[in-house]
A and B are shown apart, each in its own frame.
Chain A
Amino acid sequence: MKKRVVLFFALVLALVTGFTAMTPTTANAATDTSLSKVQKKGTLVMGTSPDYPPYEFQATVHGKTKIVGMDVAVGEKIAKDMGVKLVVKSMSFDSLLVALQTGKVDMVISGMNPTPARRKNVDFTHTYYQGGYSIVINKSDKGIYKNKDSFVNKTIGAQTGSTMYNESKKQTSGTTVKGMTSVSDLILALQSHKIQGVAMEKPSAQAYVANNKELAAIPSDFDLSASDTSASAAFKKGSTALVAAANKSVDQIKKQNLVNKTYLPAAGKYLKTNTVNTSMFHYWKAFLTGIEYTLIITVCSVFFGFIIGVILALARMGQGGVVKTGLRWLATAYVEFIRGTPMMVQVMFVYFGLGLIVNLPALTSGIIAISLNSGAYVAEYIRGGINSVDDGQTEAARSLGMSSGKTMRFVVLPQALKNIWPSLGNEFITLIKDSSIVSIIGVSELIFQSNIVRSDTYRGVAPIAVIMVLYFILTFTASRILNYFERRMQHD
């Protein structure tokens, strides 16, 4: 009981600090310890959204999936110059700046343009690369579209949260702009003719066209200021020392033209190795990792969710006394609140919100969020299960001198569990599928891995088909196992 209350306060605290974190903090150069902190811990954590070749993408290097690309090379240079090791963390583009503000990462390099709006929230280095925009179209449409103005009554796609998305909206008229989280999804939408063009950075466009014979690139002709087409590394607001150190590296990169001379060609090589073998079997290791994490998340969440559920159910059924009434009220409020908010929001809240107090890894955050969520649902099943056990059972146990606790544990709960087993089984199978939500915070479960394979291979559908089959195998096996135990529990 106590632990639950503590947890509740932790959540409230997280909520409060969550709000305060939304107001930008003012820089204080005098007490800026950002650089010494990084040097002390010996690692520079870089956040990136690895679905944007050649900036950053996943490639299989010596049988291992690795995030590569020119941004990673830039990051490595910065880290090396600071005398620390680079750690690359992947997450969705939308989550990057939040991750930076909440201290999940030290630095973001993800082909990010230093726009004035972003500058309000984070500090940028000098630009290390000056790009431009292209629009990728289907080769068959090459005659139809010339530039951004050719898409009247058509749809252009762009990565949500990106500059291209905003500029496409601003600088076209009569054109629908469709946002998607990953560029590989956008390319898939393009090839299935749901959209007619995809706005992206010139180097990315070139990479896609080079790797896919059915695509072509046309100039965008967007009217852009320098900051809109340039890429910078972002740091937490106020980390002046860190930015200054990074700027030294960035200036060297620009002076020696390292991006065009070294980084881009190197990235191009990875792109080639990626597309040599795009068979799904070639990526079995990626899928295996996905299965592994999906199972870890599911099993842990079912376990903790069940415990939370039992505690909540008991709290909700407490009668009499101020403490019990209070707990009942709290438990009811918790269940209603969790059931009334999307799991995706809860996952992000635990990772980013709770992360302000304790720095939890994504996997742990995911398990916590899903356990908390599942607990609310399981609590209701258990409550129903306990109510379904005949009062006579409790009376018989109590008349034998068993305490209410022992009665619950040895007599009521085992029977309740049997009654609700099918519902619990459903919850377990639902969790196998719902665990996919934690892909948004970068846990390498099945969905996340499939997205990586998709951006690696430029194949949109095959990885989806593969994980569909994998999910089915998982859920079907699970339901067989659950049925076995259900049969074993049948005595009456």
Chain B
Amino acid sequence: MTKPIIEVKNLAKSFGKNAVLKDITEQVDPGQVIVVIGPSGGGKSTFLRCLNLLETPTSGEVDFDGEDLTTLDTKRVNELREEMGMVFQGFNLFPNMTVLENIKLAPMKVKGIDDAAATKRAHELLKQVNLDDHADAFPSSLSGGQAQRVAIARALAMDPKVMLFDEPTSALDPEMVGEVLNVMQELANQGMTMVVVTHEMGFAKSVANRVWFMADGYIQENNTPEAFFSNPQTARAQDFLSKILM
């Protein structure tokens, strides 16, 4: 049995009196693609952001590669974050830098890679996301789909072991969703470990190894996509699936 890369134990997170995550214990194995689905406000994004400590859990453990992030000092957390790339709903590209500079910044400033090597790697990644012709463009001139692909390339530039996707296609025009999902699917095919929060049920069905159904601060179901979509166990999941167009 392989050692899990991410292990979450009794994770809880409250904002003031509002308990968003109540008690979550799950694990992610290397090479797995986990898709987290569920109704809005169910704590999916908060859960994902707890994984790289963008949100500090109120209680519980988040183990990455055997180290409990909640007990580590800031320096070590920063180091471990390099290994977890994150893609945001709103892209969060740096608007004052070109596409190439966006990708090169962290490798150069954090890993200390020299400009030539960083540039070479950035061009490779841009080719991977089919955007090498936009290397010198500024983010404001990109479409949403292009911007999100740049964001993926930027996260990959740190050579992470895990990629976290926080609703990567929710802010996109429908016709651009496909190009982003294709890139993600390719990544999955290459064996990248991924945790994806999304409303794209098609992606969940075709790419995910496991589907986690999350609502009311708990992971209500953890199953294979086939089993989950054809035969949801909980009333909460049945209710959710009956309401979405498949």
Any A CB within 8 A of the CB of B72: no
B138 pairs with A395, CB closer than 8 A: no
Task: Indicate whether A398 reaches chain B with its CB closer than 8 angstroms.
Answer: yes
Cβ contact of A403, chosen from B78, B86, B151, cutoff 8 A:
B78
In the bound complex, do residue A398 and residue B54 qualify as a contact, i.e. CB atoms below 8 Å apart?
A: yes
A396 at the interface (CB under 8 A from B): yes
With both beta carbons as reference points, the residue of chain A lying nearest to B154 in the complex is identified as: A400
Contact indicator B95/A492 (Cβ below 8 Å): yes
Contacts of A489 in B (CB 8 A): 96
Contact A403 B105 (CB under 8 A): no
Residue pair A491, B81 in contact (C-beta under 8 Å): no
Of A155-163, A220-228, A232-240, A409-417, the one with at least 4 CB within 8 A of chain B: A409-417
- Shortest C-beta distance, B235 to chain A (Å), equals 35
Residues on B with C-beta less than 8 A from A296 are none
A403 to B76, CA, bound (A): 10
Minimum CB–CB distance for B172 against chain A, Å: 16
Q: Is B43 an interface residue (CB 8 A)?
A: no
* CB-CB contacts below 8 Å: A473-492 with B: 489, 491-492
Of the four ranges (under 10, 10 to 19, 20 to 34, 35 or more), the interface on chain B belongs to: 20 to 34
* In the complex with contacts A392-B88, A396-B88, A399-B84, A418-B155 CB distance below 8 A: no
Q: What is the size category of the interface that chain A forms with chain B?
A: 20 to 34
- Smallest CB gap from A489: residue in B: B96
A84 at interface, CB cutoff 8 A: no
Q: List CB contacts (< 8 Å) of A401-427 with chain B.
A: 401-404, 406, 410-411, 414-415, 418
Contact A491 B106 (CB under 8 A): no
Q: Within 8 Å CB of B128, what residues of A?
A: none
Q: Is A393 an interface residue (CB 8 A)?
A: yes
Cβ of B138 and Cβ of A491 under 8 Å apart?
A: yes
Query: Provided the pairs A398-B54, A402-B110 are in contact, do residues A392 and B81 lie with their beta carbons within 8 angstroms?
Result: no
CA distance A400 to B153 in the complex (A): 12
Q: Does B233 contact A (CB under 8 A)?
A: no
Residues of A within 8 A of B94 (CB): 393, 396-397, 411, 415
Q: Mark B139-152, 1 if CB is under 8 A from A, else 0.
A: 11000000000010
Taken residue by residue from 290 to 321, chain A's Cβ proximity to chain B (1 for < 8 Å, 0 otherwise) reads as: 00000000000000000000000000000000
Contact B140 A399 (CB under 8 A): no
Closest to B102 in A: A396
Interface bits B82-115 vs A (CB < 8 Å: 1, else 0): 1111101010111110000000011001100000
8 Å CB interface, B104-143 against A: 105-106, 109-110, 138-140
Are the C-beta atoms of B81 and A398 separated by less than 8 Å?
yes
Q: Identify whether the interface residues of B are mostly helix, strand, loop, or mixed.
A: mixed
Task: Decide if B20 is an interface residue (CB 8 Å cutoff).
Answer: no
Q: Which residues of B contact A410 (CB under 8 A)?
A: 105, 109
Instruction: Verify if B70 is at the interface (C-beta below 8 Å from A).
Output: no
Nearest B residue to A406 via CB reads B109
Contacts of A214 in B (CB 8 A): none
Is the beta-carbon distance between B74 and A403 smaller than 8 angstroms?
Answer: yes
Closest to A400 in B: B106
Residues of B within 8 A of A399 (CB): 52, 54, 81, 84-86, 155, 164
- State the Cβ distance, B35 to closest chain A Cβ, in Å: 20
User: Is residue A390 contacting chain B, with contact meaning CB distance below 8 A?
Assistant: yes
Across the interface, which residues of A come within 8 angstroms of B75, CB to CB? Answer: 403
CA gap between A410 and B108 in the complex, in Å: 11
A491 near B96 (CB under 8 angstroms)?
A: yes
Q: Are B92 and A491 in contact (CB under 8 A)?
A: no
Closest CB in chain B relative to A273 CB, distance in Å: 59
Chain B residues near A396 (CB-CB < 8 A): 86, 88, 92-94, 151, 154
Q: Is B79 an interface residue (CB 8 A)?
A: yes
Q: How far is the CB of B138 from chain A (nearest CB, A)?
A: 4
Given contacts A492-B138, A492-B139, A492-B140, is CB(A402)–CB(B109) below 8 Å? yes
Extra contacts, 20 of them, besides A400-B155, A401-B110 (Cβ < 8 A), are A392-B88, A392-B90, A393-B94, A396-B92, A396-B151, A399-B86, A399-B155, A400-B106, A400-B110, A401-B81, A401-B82, A401-B158, A402-B78, A406-B110, A411-B94, A414-B96, A415-B94, A415-B95, A491-B96, A492-B95
Binding site for B on A (CB under 8 A): 390, 392-393, 395-404, 406, 410-411, 414-415, 418, 489, 491-492
17 A-B contacts, Cβ less than 8 Å apart? A395-B86, A398-B54, A398-B78, A399-B84, A399-B85, A399-B164, A400-B82, A400-B105, A400-B106, A402-B106, A403-B74, A404-B74, A415-B94, A415-B96, A418-B96, A491-B95, A491-B140
Binding site for A on B (CB under 8 A): 52, 54, 74-75, 78-79, 81-86, 88, 90, 92-96, 105-106, 109-110, 138-140, 151, 154-155, 158, 164
Q: Which 7 A-B pairs have the closest CB atoms?
A: A401-B82, A492-B140, A396-B92, A399-B86, A400-B106, A392-B92, A491-B138
